[in-house]
Amino acid sequence: MTNSSSTKSQFLTLVTVFFFWGFLAASNGVFIPFCKSHFELTQLQSQLIDWAFYFAYFFGSLGLYLIDKIVGIDILNKIGYKMGIIYGLFFSAFGALLMIAAVNSGSYTFILASFFVIALGFSLQQTCAQPFAISLGEPKSGANRLSFAGGVNSFGTTVGPIIVGYFLFGGPGGDASRVEITSVNTMYMILAGLFVAVALFFMFSNLPKITHDEHIEPGLGALKYPQLVLGMVGIFIYVGVEVTIQSNMGALLKLPEFGGYEESQIAHFISLYWASLMIGRWTGAISVFNFSSSTNKILTVFIPFIAFAVALGANYLGGHPISDLYPYAFCIVLFIVCYFIGEDKPAKTLLILALFGVVAMLIGLFAKGAVAKFAFISGGLACSIMWPCIFALATAGLGKYTSQGSMFLIMMILGGAIIPLVQGAIADSSIGIHQSYWIAVVCFAYLAFFAVRVKGILKAQGIDYEQEAVAAAH
């Protein structure tokens, strides 16, 4: 058995994997407009980057499911979570090296394939890392570790666009048309080296071999529960809207009415969008530390602004302007109000944040300039803590089918591959990029519907959803 010191070291190593997921996923928002300009793509074609990235999550999860279902082998139970993460890291390292060859070849299709391989490694890592994080310590504090890991993931999403923007453009004043291929090569060579380094550390460290002994149930299994089926659609929609808002933002910000920004000038706005998720997740993590009620309320007011300050500091150190981000503080105040109204109850919180998202998108659609820009960015605040709410509500009452239901929900990350493509296609039509954001309104509206509908479903099953779901969410 590992001692406390080594366990902390192991967990901190594990957390770096969460950072990489956020770092690269958020960086797509900067890389997409670069590829669009470099390869002279349509908006729909540029969104294929997100399609390749998030489809890999679905493909990876489906592959694990089919192996268990068809061959009768629980692959994760056979190799263990530790080796699963190691294999995933090597997969991602191989994908990063492929990216170097792809960029040098000038083939956009090759670049998409490289993104797919990187994310396929991420899929395996994510499937293993979350239960691994819970196991590295006392079970009762497992939620704390996951919340901390989620905060690190969000930090990766915040600094990712800044660092990638620096490598691509040399700073906020760079010219997208003069990006050196060697800069892209250097960035992915560093990433490949980091993936391998972490994999080797895992391999030679005294990490415990932890496995998961539940098997996929025959028949419909978890799919016979309506809360799961609606929740699968919910995860699909949630991931899709979270990704599509920022993936299409580069094209939106090029419009004169939104500032007419060049590709090299948008990184701090993409960073702010992902920082919005960090703001919300840091706020949502407060309740797991068993503070008094009064302390919780105080921290709920201050933590969001501390996270905002971290985001501003990261942009400042990255050489990006931050004075034009200050007005966003008003959006954070509105989020805090919504969070208090939600009372830390998953269904109510999901409903309030979904309505917040609908209103924010409508303001963005009917306004222009800074007001519209910050309204769209605040979609990140709306999305920030939706995942645990949807996940908890969708798996409430599943009993022995919970593991199977969780796998189905992970598959629905596929939404991040599909919905940006839909918006990209709309943007390329006569509707245009600005009005294409109606797709986000529809997405948030469904999530509001899910929050109301699942409450009734669980009550009909005799489930005290507020108590059970809250416990699962935290």
Rounded Cα distance, 219 and 185, in Å:
48
Mention every residue, 6+ apart, whose C-beta is less than 8 A from residue 343.
349
| Residues of the chain by 3-state class (helix, strand, coil), percent to 5 | 85, 0, 15
pLDDT digits (tens, 9 = 90+) for 345-363: 889 999 999 999 999 999 9
What is the spatial distance between Cα 444 and Cα 350, in angstroms, rounded to a whole number? 10
| Torsional class of 2: left (φ above 0), alpha (ψ -120 to 50), beta (otherwise) | beta
What pLDDT digit, counting tens, does each position of 212-239 carry? 555 555 666 778 899 999 999 999 999 9
The domain of 274 spans 4-473
pLDDT at 368: 87
Q: How many domains does the chain have?
A: 1
Residue type, 153: N
Tell me which residue of 415, 434, 420 sits closest to 49, measured CA to CA: 420
pLDDT exceeds 80 at position 471: no
* CATH code, domain with 188: 1.20.1250.20
Tokens 């963005």, located at residue: 364
DSSP string, 278-292: HHHHHHHTGGGG---
In angstroms, the CA 252 to CA 107 distance is 26
Report CA torsion sign: 276, 281, 287, 290: negative
Its pTM stands at 0.80
> In this predicted structure, which of 164-173, 296-305, 448-457 has the lowest mean pLDDT?
164-173
**CA–CA separation, 325 and 380 (whole Å):** 15
Q: How many CB atoms are located within 10 Å of the residue 106 CB?
A: 11
- pLDDT class of 436 with cuts at 50, 70, 90: very high
The residue ranking higher by pLDDT, 18 or 257, is 257
**Euclidean distance between CA atoms 190 and 93, whole angstroms:** 10
- Name every residue whose Cβ is closer than 8 Å to that of residue 396 and which is 6 or more positions away in sequence: 227, 458, 463, 465, 468, 469, 472
What is residue 4's predicted lDDT score, i.e. its pLDDT? Answer: 55
pLDDT tier, 1 (very low <50, low <70, confident <90, very high otherwise): very low
